[in-house]
Structure 1
Amino acid sequence: MSDGLSVRIALFGVCVVIVVALVVWFVWRKKKREEQARITELTAFADSVGGSVQDRRAGARPWSAEFTRAMASEYGTFFRWLGRQSEGRFDYALDFSRGRWRVRISEASLENATSSSTRTAQETRVEVATTDLVTLKIIRRRHAGSHSQERGWAAEVPVTVSAERDPLWMEIRLPASVDHAFVAFTSDLPEAARVLNHGFLALLLDEVQLRTLTFEAGIVHTTLDGPIFPRLALETTDLMVALLERVPGLEPRDPKTAA
C-alpha cells in the first residue's frame, strides 16, 4: 500500500470520527436544552403552588417507587419487552402542599422502538401521603360490564401484600349503583368498605378523569398518561384530596415516613 493511499485512508478515518463526534455532541446538546427547558417549566409550576422540583440527578422518585415501578404499564408482555429500548425511569418530582395534605407529582419515561425510530413514552404519578390505610386498588371500567383488562390490573397482588406471611387479596363486591363502573380488590373487606363509602364512591363516579386509584402503605396514588400537565395534575390532586376528606378518620402523614 502506497504512503499516499495510507494517508488518505487515515484522513478518511479521522473525518468519520469527527462527523460521528459532532453528531453525538449535537444530540447531547439538544437533549440538554430540552431538559433545561423542562426544568424551567416545572419550576414555574412548582413555584405557582409553593413547592419545589427535583430532577433524576437529585434523586427524583415517587414515594411509592418501591411498590410500583416507573412506567409499569409498559412491562408484562413479550411484545412490550420486544419494543422496549430502555428501562423506565423517574425524571422529575414536584413536592407541595394542597390544603393540609402533602403531595408529590412525578414524571417517568421509557424509550420504545417504532417501525422507523424511537418513541418516548411518558406518564405522570400523583401521590398523597396519608395515615396508614387498608391496601386497596380500584379501577374504572373502560366500558360498562367489561372485565378483562381492568380486572387483571386490580387483581395483581401489590408487593406489600404478597410479602405478608399469609397474603390475602380479594375482589370487592361494590354497591349496585357503581358496580357497573368500577372493579376493586383489597386485602381487608371491612376496612375497604370504610374507605369506599357512599360519599367517596359518589364523587369518584362523577369525576371520570380519574381511572385508577391505589392505597398502599400510607400512599394514595394514581397515574396519568403523558408528561406532567400542570392543570390536569392539579385537577387530579384536588380530586384525590376531596376523596380522602370523605374517608372517616383519615389524616395527612409526614411524607418522610409515608413510604
Structure 2
Amino acid sequence: MSGRQAVPSVRGKPGWLRRLDPLTKGIWLLCTGLAVMLTLSLTAQLLWYLVVLILAGTGAGWRLKQWRLFALWAMGFGLPLLLFQWLMLPVGGDEPLWQPFGSGGPALTASALELSAALTLRSMTLFASSIVYATTTEPRDVVVALTQQLRMPDKLAYAAAVALRFVPLLLAEAEQIRRAERLRRLTPVRGVGGRLQSARRMALAIVRSALRHVQDVSTAMEAKRFGSARARTHWRRVAISPAGWLFAAASIGAAAATLVYF
C-alpha cells in the first residue's frame, strides 16, 4: 500500500462532512479555534476535543489505518507535551503530588497538571480539527467558495488551496519515508542519538520533497499564465445547503456557549 493511502485524504470512504461546502466547514474550524483559544477550562477543552473526534468518526470517513496513524500522533505528541508542561508550569501554591528530582527540584502539583492537560488538549484540538477539514475538503472547492462567496482575490484563494492540498501530501510523504527507512534498516534504532539522527534524516527528506512539489506547482501556474487575466471563469459551483447552515449555526452557538459558561 502506498504512503498516500496510509494517511487521511479526501479520497476516503464517504462521509457527511465531505458533502458540506468548504465555507461551512471553515466557520466550524474558526469557531473551534476561537473556543479553545479563549478558554483555559479543562472541561471545555476536553468537550471540544471529543466533539472533533466524534465529527471525524461519523463524517470524515477515515479508515482503521488512518485512525491508527492519528492515535500514534496523539500519543507521541500529546503525552510528551503534557509531561513537559507539567514540569515547566508554575505550581500555584498547591501541595506537590510528586517531586521527581528530590526536594530541590520542580514540584508537580494538581493545579499544574490541570493547566497542562488543558493546554495539551488545546493543541491537539487545533491540529485534529485542521486535519479533519483538510481531509474532507477538496482544494478546488475551497477556491470556488473563496472567490464566489467571499469575493477573495484569485491569488489568495489559490494560495490557501495549495496549502490545504499539501497537508495530506506531506503526511503521506512522511509515512512513506518512515516505511522505507524501516525496510532498509537491519537493526532497530537504539538510543536518543540514533532517534535524533533518524528524525533529522526524515525532516530533511520531507523538506526536499516539499520543495520539489512547490517547484512543480509554481511551474504549472507559470505555464498556465496564472494571474494574467483580470477575471476568471469557474465551471464548478458551490452552494450552502440547509444542513450546512445548520452546522454553521450549531458551531457558532457552541463557541458562544463555551465563552459564556467557561
Whichever of the two has the greater Rg, that structure is: 1
- TM > 0.5 between the two? no
In proportion to residue count, which structure has more helix? 2
Structure with a larger share of its residues in strand: 1
Q: What's the TM-score, normalizing by structure 2?
A: 0.25
TM-score scaled by length of structure 1:
0.25
Higher relative contact order (CA 8 A, sep 6+): 2
